[in-house]
Structure 1
Amino acid sequence: MLAEHGQYRLDPATVDVDFWRFASAVTARRAAATAQHRTDACEAIVTHYGGTLADGLDSEWLAAAREATRRDALDAVAALARARVADDPDYTLDLLETARAFDPHNELVYRDIMRLQHRLGRHDAISRTLTLLRTRLAELDTTPTTDTVALAQRLREHDTGIPLDGTARPAAP
């Protein structure tokens, strides 16, 4: 412990706090002068995000800090995904799955995942992603929007001709 001006704080020479690494990476991203430095900082943010800040503690002052931390992590994942989607869509899909883990009820993330699964030819995965979204939203007593269901249907049928419900289409006359 260090004492300064009547306050105590942890001594960074003897104590390591995971949030400090995360906060340092966020600061580095904000101060980055080059695209590579921003990318490096975003990768560090994603690496050091440990999930909900102070999970298990219940205090009013934590709500804003939790949301800011989650938002910083999602912003970093989104920036990495935008930077890598053209060159490495498989890595980008992994990033989107990371974003889904960070924010499991974010319907827009699931839509991006389905679009990329379609692009990568992983059409069966689209149905599983929609099912996972339904499961996660059921935790909140809600369901996916009709736009999301329609998107999944269009993407799945586009190349396979198989509806999401698995039923066969009637033969053309």
Structure 2
Amino acid sequence: MPTRLMDRHEVRRLAEAGAQLVEVLPREEYEDVHLPGAVHLWLRDLDREASIRLDRHRPMVVYCWDWMCDMSPRTAARLEQLGFREVYDHVPGKADWLAAGWPAEGRSAEALSAGAVARRDVLICRAGQRVDEVLAQMRDTGKAVCVVVDDERVRSARHRRNPHARRLPCPTHT
């Protein structure tokens, strides 16, 4: 059974170590935006194309759009049936990669990356941080909003000035 990868950092590490990245979405979606160096191999063409286009001796990371897409786990399982030894399924897919603002290729790569549209001048706060500290930061910076992030700097909530709050919202409750 293919290994399920939930962490984009592991995908990047594998790619830097020589793993093949394989996008299994339709060609137009691949051409629009894909992970750097990824090849396109649609599930429908897998049996005919896999042996021609892929190196069975290199690790392989397959991905589709996001965790709701079922093409990457099906492709990973089929590749193992075809004799590919080290196959990984990047479950969160390219949506996760793009949301992190990481590099991408394709005709719309720049426009679709989070980094292309994200504001960089926002006030960042941590979940559980004392509200009086955050309000002081907001006052000092002139910001009316802070973005609450977790330890991975993933947005978990937004906090507006509220003098009655005692702590920032916990990410599991927002």
TM-score by length of structure 1 reads 0.26
More helix per residue: 1 or 2?
1
TM-score by length of structure 2 reads 0.26
Q: Higher relative CO (CA 8 A, sep ≥ 6), structure 1 or 2?
A: 2
